[in-house]
Amino acid sequence: MLINAYRTGAVGLVVALLLLSSGCTADTFLNQTASRGGELAGGSGNIDVIFINNTPHRAVFTYGTYNNTDQFAVPAARQFVGDAGGATLEGDTFAEAVVLPCDRVFSIGDSELLRLIQENMDEATLETLDPDVLVEGMAFSSAALGEEHAGLATEGFAPAVRALLGVDFPCGSVVIIRLEIADVGPAPFRADFEIIPPRGGDRAP
């Protein structure tokens, strides 16, 4: 038992040293070694995501989770759109919690999420997404729902969000995103990121 424990520890140390010596940052190491929460090897748990729109404008964006170690990964992606036929996030409202598979990255409109969607999703799944919402960041619109510009950034954008497993959140957590008017900075809106860690778990470093 002691020999096995020593071997396991030694292997972990060698992996850590290899990652660090190759230029891997501490955040990258934590992200790549964090558990994805699955009960079976190679599986994953979930995260619950809640969006609260504290601005007076509709928010339109693409969000989801993906594996940043696999260039062929198919992300779990969702959207808030400007069409009454889809999910919407109106001003001064909140959305019911959405369950997403836990993966290495949680993203709102970052370039890698958009690339993986466009390059790796099968055609049938891709057709369920609004191509006009496959844009970086989060758009805010004051146009009435269903109007021509209801899904466009008539009021401006908020920057994309990219959060790392093991650094910004653990699997099993509740991720709360509050959309706010930005008082300072180049963008008129911002997204505040809050984590409620799983019961009995620790907040991500």
pLDDT of residue 40: 54
Q: Of 64-68, 83-87, 135-139, which range is least confident?
A: 83-87
Q: pLDDT: is 101 or 17 the higher one?
A: 101
Q: pLDDT: is 145 or 200 the higher one?
A: 145
CA dist., res. 25 & res. 22, Å (int): 9
Region 61-66 average pLDDT: 98
Query: Is 168 inside any structural domain?
Result: yes
Is residue 23 pLDDT above 80, yes or no?
no
Three-state DSSP state, 148: coil
CA dist., res. 110 & res. 129, Å (int): 16
pLDDT of residue 199: 80
Q: Identify whether the C-beta of residue 179 lies closer than 8 Å to the C-beta of residue 158.
A: yes
Q: Identify whether the C-beta of residue 180 lies closer than 8 Å to the C-beta of residue 189.
A: yes
**Enclosing domain of residue 129:** 34-196
pLDDT of residue 200: 66
List pLDDT tens digits, range 86-96: 999 999 999 99
pLDDT confidence bin for 44, thresholds 50/70/90: confident
User: Number of structural domains, the chain?
Assistant: 1
pLDDT of residue 11: 40
Q: Among the residues of 67-191, which ranges form H helices?
A: 111-120, 123-126
Query: Is 27 inside any structural domain?
Result: no
